């Protein structure tokens, strides 16, 4: 039996009135601007819905071949699929000392990757993990709920000042540039990674996201990373996001904490499991 993610239920309840007010409409032909799909009553592109990336970026943002997975006993199951990469220019511009750490991370992936421990994934990683996420859009804020670890974040569309502290999902402030939603993300926790290949950042990371509608059911997603401690220059990833259009599409629970408890705390048992 499927269960509705309680975070999603809360968000949907919180924005129910706004959603009614923002009942979507299609502008007359020739008056829609650069995007002719569904729009809100306020004239913005309608991003409400469930979205998902369809790529291998969570394995590695850069191009990579297929290879054996980390558990040899599983054979082809959980092997690494090949990917063309989503990094503009093909390569992440690491500083030499930072590249050495990235390679060390990759060699120790099973011990270090925050995903394995069910830590919140951060931005931009939450966007292209192999799980859907839901957008609930209002004029003053845009809410995003992610299936992995029940992660959530709020994109504030009004001035709310600076973040009070570093957070796993960062501090997101948005604005519209024409029909493109631009989000500046700061105060990200330095322990988040970009993927399973060990790509990482420091506490100085700033992310600028851009969501642009290609058509009613496809968004073009871009994220530009700036971190002078780790990278020689800003760099950008780019990928499409697809709206889940199944009649029964919904965000389900994926409470992975209970799957990681033994890994993280099993050594504290009085009688450890064999």
pLDDT in tens, 200-245: 999 999 999 999 999 999 999 999 999 999 999 999 999 999 999 9
**Which residues have a Cβ under 8 Å from the Cβ of 109 and sit 6 or more positions away?**
70, 116, 196, 197, 198
**HSE-up of residue 222 (Cα within 13 Å, Cβ side):** 13
Going by C-alpha positions, the residue among 52, 55, 60, 56 that lies closest to residue 195 is: 60
Domains of the chain in sequence order: 6-68+83-268 (2.40.128.20)
Cα 125 to Cα 106: distance, rounded to the nearest angstrom: 16
Q: For tokens 């029964």, name the residue.
A: 248
* pLDDT per residue as tens, the chain (274 positions): 455 555 555 454 544 434 433 443 433 333 334 677 889 988 999 999 999 999 999 999 999 999 998 888 888 988 999 999 999 999 999 999 999 999 999 999 999 999 999 999 999 999 999 999 999 999 999 999 999 999 999 999 999 998 889 999 999 999 999 999 999 999 999 999 999 999 999 999 999 999 999 999 999 999 999 999 999 999 999 999 999 999 999 999 998 988 887 776 666 666 766 6
């Amino acid at each position: 039996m499927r269960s509705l993610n309680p975070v999603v239920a809360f968000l949907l309840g919180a924005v129910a009135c706004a959603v009614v007010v923002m009942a979507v409409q299609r502008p007359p032909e020739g008056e829609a601007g650069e995007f002719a799909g569904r729009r809100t009553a306020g004239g913005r592109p309608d991003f409400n819905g469930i979205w998902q990336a369809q790529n291998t970026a969570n394995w590695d943002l850069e191009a990579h071949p297929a290879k054996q997975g980390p558990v040899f006993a599983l054979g082809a199951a959980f092997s690494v699929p090949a990917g063309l990469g989503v990094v503009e220019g093909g390569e992440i511009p690491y500083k030499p000392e930072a590249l050495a750490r990235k390679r060390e991370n990759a060699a120790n992936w099973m011990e270090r990757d925050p995903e394995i421990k069910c830590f919140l994934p951060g931005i931009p990683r939450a966007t292209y993990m192999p799980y859907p996420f839901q957008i609930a859009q209002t004029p003053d804020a845009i809410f995003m709920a992610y299936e992995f670890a029940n992660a959530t974040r709020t994109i504030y569309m009004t001035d709310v000042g600076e973040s009070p502290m570093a957070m796993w999902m960062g501090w997101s402030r948005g604005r519209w540039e024409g029909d493109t939603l631009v989000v500046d993300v700061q105060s990200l926790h330095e322990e988040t990674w970009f993927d399973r290949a060990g790509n990482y950042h420091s506490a100085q990371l700033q992310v600028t996201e851009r969501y642009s509608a290609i058509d009613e059911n496809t968004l073009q997603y871009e994220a530009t990373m700036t971190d002078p401690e780790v990278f020689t220059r800003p760099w950008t990833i780019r990928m499409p996001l697809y709206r889940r259009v199944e009649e029964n599409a919904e965000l389900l629970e994926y409470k992975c904490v209970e799957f990681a408890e033994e890994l993280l705390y099993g050594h504290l048992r009085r009688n450890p499991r064999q």
